[in-house]
Amino acid sequence: MGFGIKSKIKSAIVMMTGCGILKKTQWYRNMLVDPNHDIYPDNTWYRTHDERNFDIVNLGSSGGKWAFDYSDLDIKAMNWAQQPQTLLEDYNLLRHYHSILRKGGYVLITIMPFSGLNKETGLMDAFKYVNQDCQGEPIQPFRYKEACRYARYPILFKKQAVKALIKYLLGKERKSDKYAHTKVTHNPMSSTQLDEDAKRWIDGWKRQFSIENFDAPLTPQNQEGRKFRINLMRELIDFCSERGYKPVYVIPPVTSHLSRYYTPQFESTYVYGFLKEVNREIPLLDYSKDETFKDDDLYFNSFFLNSKGRKMFTLRVIQDLGGIANK
């Protein structure tokens, strides 16, 4: 066997061994939304769970992830929202795993300020779902093949992967909870810090969606994104209705530090205008101006509910769903 072939074989063995070790690191697992298969009811989940006929699943991006906490409640429910998660991913998750719901079960569709706009999708949007069993149909199809290649050979992440590998091998890896900051029961930020945090969100959204003035009409680019989201939302709602599920829009609360940027024109253009254009008669639970959730200590920043706030909000939503069912 020639020296060149031996060298290639040795390099391949080293690469595969390194990739195998990388998949054990906290760095790698933190990039996946459900590394332990305890969020989504895929085939791996069903091997250890006999539960069926769930009452509620909620969809959504960050706002949904940090709005709902069904633990310690006498209800069978799952939070399928992620940070971040697009409406397309919401729909694909629902299509794959909806059979966990009972007939008449609720699908809570979390509506955030820019749910009606489409966002650019990157590699990590596909990568974070690669370990989910989805019968060969990806949750995020864009760049899925590339994401699978990175999942098989995480050394492709280069510097990040090398740093993670070295820390793991040296025993210096930190086994920290990446969501620890969300589990507080009070808001750690001062009023000034909350103002600064709110401005960061606003400035970030303006950059992300190329918006100069929130009170101005949608740009041509955002009008196209709106059309895509409208059709997708219609498909999602019709999917629910055709199978006997009850779709419900839910708008979670935010602190006044952030909501003060939500002018009536902004809300009309980006939130209520979007829902009106979807043109589906389903219930709307709107907590954006609910005085019950105005206390800053119910949040962990200017935007998202903390542990105490999530439990309080989830209980309120369940109570209000009971009101809908009795109408």
Q: Predicted confidence band at 17 (pLDDT cuts at 50, 70, 90)?
A: low
Measured CA to CA, the distance from residue 320 to residue 327 in angstroms comes to 11
pLDDT of residue 63: 95
| pLDDT tens string 237-246 | 999 999 999 9
Of the CA atoms within 13 Å of residue 86, those in its CB half-sphere come to: 23
pLDDT value of position 324: 72
Tens-digit pLDDT profile for residues 76-99:
999 999 999 999 999 999 999 999
Q: Which of 158-167, 169-178, 255-264 has the highest mean pLDDT?
A: 255-264
Show me where the domains of the chain are located.
3-325
Question: Would you say the pTM of this structure is higher than 0.75?
Answer: yes
